Amino acid sequence: MVMEKERIEIVEYGKKLITEGLTKGTGGNISIYNQEEGLMAISPSGIDYFAVTPEDVVVMKLDGTVYEGSRKPSSEYHLHSLVYQARKDVGAVVHTHSTYAAIMSVLRESLPPVHYMIAITGAHEVKCAEYATFGTEKLAENAVKAMGTSKACFLANHGLLTCGPNLKRALSVAENVEWISELYIKAKAAGQPVTLTEQELNDLAAGFASYGQPKK
């Protein structure tokens, strides 16, 4: 089975989308890209995450051609493939319908730097892409434009898109953007949130570069 390791990982992380409250039902989708092979493993369309097996995960080329798998791939495969084509630093993409990120997408607002953990996105804000119908190339184009060099963007009236070098990091970005979105929305209800300054954000970038354990 092609990309067996990646397909098993997608099954595991698909369940996390539900248990971590990042989506409902069969909403959202996840993928992993193997640059050497030029192949993308992506979750199937419309199957309960707890029923998905590694064989259900579809392997595709970035032009949309199915390389291996009998299932229909996620309707948002354009969203994933265009990110991989635009970003050589990305090895995994996560799309969620988490509540507070979806609220931000409905407001069509950018998420400002109200908490230092926004640095996990690699940017000073999370922008909202222009609206386009789900499953279309236009949605993917708008998302890539809004994301830029960041690791996250909102999809207008839809949800959240995040990426990273691997699935663990991409999911971590999704979890943190959801939490900061919740913090921001609740802070706005209580008063006027205070955002971090440009200098404070630049200091954060230096701190995050050495955060965690040494890379081996």
Active site positions, annotated: 76
Containing 70, the helix (H) or strand (E) segment is none
d(CA 59, CA 66): 6
Cβ distance 67 to 2 under 8 Å? Answer: yes
CA distances to 20, 63, 73, 122 from 173, in Å: 13, 26, 24, 10
> Scanning the structure block, which residue is given the tokens 């690699």?
122
**Angle of the 167-190 helix axis to the 4-19 helix axis, nearest 10:** 20
